[in-house]
Amino acid sequence: MEIRPFGPDDGTAVAAYVSLTNAGREVDSPWMPPMTPTEAAGWLRHGWDGEPPLGFLGYADGTPVGYAEYSTSTWDNLHLAWLWIGVHPDRRRRGHGTELLCAMEERARSEGRTSIGVDGWDTAPCEPFAAAHGLVRRSAEVVRRQVMAEVDWARVESLHAEAAAAAADYELVRRTGATPDEDLAALAEITAAINDAPTDDLDIEDEVFPPARVRDYETAMIGQGRVLHRVLARHRGTGAPAGHTVVVVEGERPHLGEQHDTAVARDHRGHRLGLLLKTEMLLWLREVEPRLEQFDTWNAESNAHMVAVNELLGYRVVGRMLDFQRDVRDAIRRDPDRPL
């Protein structure tokens, strides 16, 4: 296999990446919307917060048969590289996935990274592939979907009123788009509260969120053509930031959205702010995003509190992802007669 890097401006390679991604989704996660070339180029240009993944295509006899995404951070977790490996369903079990994984592993090792993480959908081939490469399952994430046509609005309004009564000392602020410069430091403080979410057995450090990184996240989302909606909670008496929730809606496909962070600062928990923020967001989206049909949220399976909130609001499970990790300071010896 020949493995070649590619970027967002290489239209031919991006088209191959999109085609391979969508072929995999049809088999592994058919509930996922198909990737578009615009989405792919935006992701490869901006990433989550201004540190986009490196893209690689694997070619067999001149035909693209698989791809890899290689992601690292310069803010934190300097020991870690996170990977996604995809192979066309018709070309699996021929060693292509192994070659891609080994190439990314070697890259991580050469850069001084000591650990790799790899995600995979909870399908029959996933864990055997991981085990063959010394990857140990460390966590599981569940993807839930909020379908707007299925929302019980009377129940949402009732839950919102109950939560508002419990959080009478807090005010909510709705904001679309980028945060004003003067509010970035306070927002960064709230954003860091996401570090209290469970990470199970993953070898990861708390993420660092200076104001510049929060700005980079907003710039990345807007740069990908997404409309960013944020609801913030502030303590009425002190003005202290207490929590926030974020949903982004695609500009290209305004019927699709994603739930991003929901976090409440530790000193302000116990007032039902999580429920208040999420019901407020739903009610706001009903007003300002009339074409929105669905949005997905990702939670660690062990995040009992947020899972309970999502289920209370009618989210339904659509998929499950497994998170694997291993130390790469020593390469794994593999059986060349066992194609993976």
Q: What is the pLDDT of residue 330?
A: 74
SS (H, E, C) 150-202: HCCHHHHHHHHHHHHHHCCCEEEEEEECCCCHHHHHHHHHHHHHHHHCCCCCC
Over residues 184-196, the mean pLDDT reads: 95
Amino acid letter, residue 20: L
* pLDDT tens digits along 242-301: 999 999 999 999 999 999 999 999 999 999 999 999 999 999 999 999 999 999 999 999
Query: Taking Cα atoms as reference points, which of 56, 42, 49 lies closest to residue 8?
Result: 42
- pTM, two decimals, is 0.94
How far is CA 62 from its chain centroid? 32
Q: What letter does residue 129 receive in the DSSP assignment?
A: H
50-73: per-residue pLDDT in tens? Answer: 999 999 999 999 999 999 999 999
**pLDDT for position 34:** 98
